[in-house]
Amino acid sequence: MRKKVLVLAFFASLALAMLTACGDKNNTTNTTTPTGTATEGKYHPCGGSVKLGAYKGMTYTREVKEVTEEDVNKEIAAVLRQYPNYKKDELRTGTLVKEGDALNIDYSGRLASSNVAFDGGTAKDAFLVIGSNKFIPGFESSLIGKTVGETVDINVTFPDSYPNNPNLAGVATIFTVTINYVGTAVEDIDDAYVKRYLSNVATSAAELRELLLKELKQEAEQDADDSMWDQILDQVIQNAVFASIDQKDIDYYYDQNLAKLRQYAAYYKTDEETMYKTLYSATGKSYSEFLADNRAASERTVKEFMVLQEIAKAENMTLTTEEYDEAVAGFMSKAGVTVKADFEAEYGKDYLMYCALNDKVLAFLRDNAVKQ
């Protein structure tokens, strides 16, 4: 029922940073939303009609999975498969660049017509795998046969269609590229890796491991809670009769589930399936499976909110000022926000009250359930 804490959120900034290529604009960041029972978005009470059956005395079990260092290693390994930790291969200095080489480079681009640098065309200490097609056509192939350790100029013309920066479409440019070294991927993270990619999260590999372990344990607790809520709500939903469910409500939560993926796809001028494979390939699910899961989850969400709202009415539940303030404080803590007025302005008091009341009903169901 409640949102899970995703361990890979630690690496969201890393994933986005790795997606950029020469000539692209800078990244944007995204904010989180309250982590109560409602899906992220604005106030959206569900319509439809439901007749409640039994909702007290439901049964549940709650088991918390043990988290080990091996679990931490698996998370790190998953990230390294997508974003390797490259170390300098000393033996490759002075050799020729070939297809498949992971190069560490500095580069600066300028217009061939005026010799003037252009925005987004400069980077230092960047990694590029030759043949990955991450950069514009001609950039990678022009480096093949060049000598590792040297600085070279390459002539590259941007594609006639270049949505990332239309001003560069079809423009001839010159890139000065320093081929610093060829990298070899290692199978673990270290302090340098954390400093390069995750300095906003941790200061060392040891600290990152501690954070991941803590996060995984929190996720295990959350998973246990999710299972508990699911067991209770499964019974409440099965006992209820849904006379009607509004399709627009299902569509609303479905769109909310896909909002962040769509935002990334729009920013990087790609389709949603490609962006899904880029960011979430570690899930092991196909894009069609991902969409089907989200559609089913959205219908489930609507049913959950319908019964929760109906139980609130049946039990004459309301929120006191103190209960609302306490709930919002919890939402703010999880979202990393400190100013209540700003938080209320962003999400709306109606939406926050909706989340808080649903949480109160959940607590009521738990308190009136039987643990087995």
pLDDT in tens, 14-25: 444 333 334 343
Tokens of 295: 């559609």
- d(C-alpha 103, C-alpha 278), whole Å: 21
**Nearest CA to 158 among 112, 100, 105, 123?**
112
| Residues forming a β-bridge with 153 | 176
How do the domains of the chain map onto residue ranges? 7-80+202-371, 85-197
Alpha helices by DSSP H, the chain: 12-19, 69-82, 139-143, 191-197, 205-239, 247-267, 272-280, 287-314, 321-335, 340-347, 349-367
Which residues are CB-contacts of 262 (< 8 A; sequence separation ≥ 6)? 272
Which residues are CB-contacts of 347 (< 8 A; sequence separation ≥ 6)? 33, 34, 42
pLDDT value for 42: 66
Low-confidence ranges of the chain (pLDDT < 70): 1-42
Strands of 64-171, DSSP E:
85-88, 102-111, 117-129, 151-157
| Residues forming a β-bridge with 175 | 109, 154
Tell me how crowded residue 197 is: count the other CB atoms within 10 A of its CB. Answer: 19
Q: Is 188 helix (H, G, I), strand (E, B) or coil?
A: coil
Which residues are CB-contacts of 363 (< 8 A; sequence separation ≥ 6)? none
Tokens of 78: 């998953």
In this structure, which amino acid lies at residue 173?
A: T
Which residues are CB-contacts of 148 (< 8 A; sequence separation ≥ 6)? 92, 93, 94, 95, 96, 97, 103, 179, 181, 182
Sort strands 117-129 and 102-111 into parallel, antiparallel or unpaired. Answer: antiparallel
**Nearest CA to 33 among 352, 296, 291?**
352
What's the pLDDT tens digit per position in 200-234?
889 999 999 999 999 999 999 999 999 999 999 99
Q: Which CATH number fits domain 7-80+202-371: 1.10.10.10, 2.30.30.790, 1.10.20.10, 1.10.3120.10?
A: 1.10.3120.10
- d(C-alpha 191, C-alpha 360), whole Å: 44
| Residues forming a β-bridge with 178 | 106, 151
Architecture label for domain 85-197: Roll (3.10)
pLDDT value for 16: 41
- d(C-alpha 199, C-alpha 48), whole Å: 48
**Nearest CA to 233 among 357, 53, 372?**
53
Tell me how crowded residue 327 is: count the other CB atoms within 10 A of its CB. Answer: 21
**Nearest CA to 67 among 176, 215, 197?**
215
- d(C-alpha 279, C-alpha 84), whole Å: 15
Tokens of 22: 């020469």
- d(C-alpha 83, C-alpha 127), whole Å: 10
pTM above threshold 0.75:
no
| Residues forming a β-bridge with 157 | 172
CB 360 within 8 A of CB 323: yes
- Residue 295: Cβ-neighbour burial (10 angstroms; 0-12, 13-18, 19+): middle
**Nearest CA to 278 among 20, 3, 6, 4?**
20
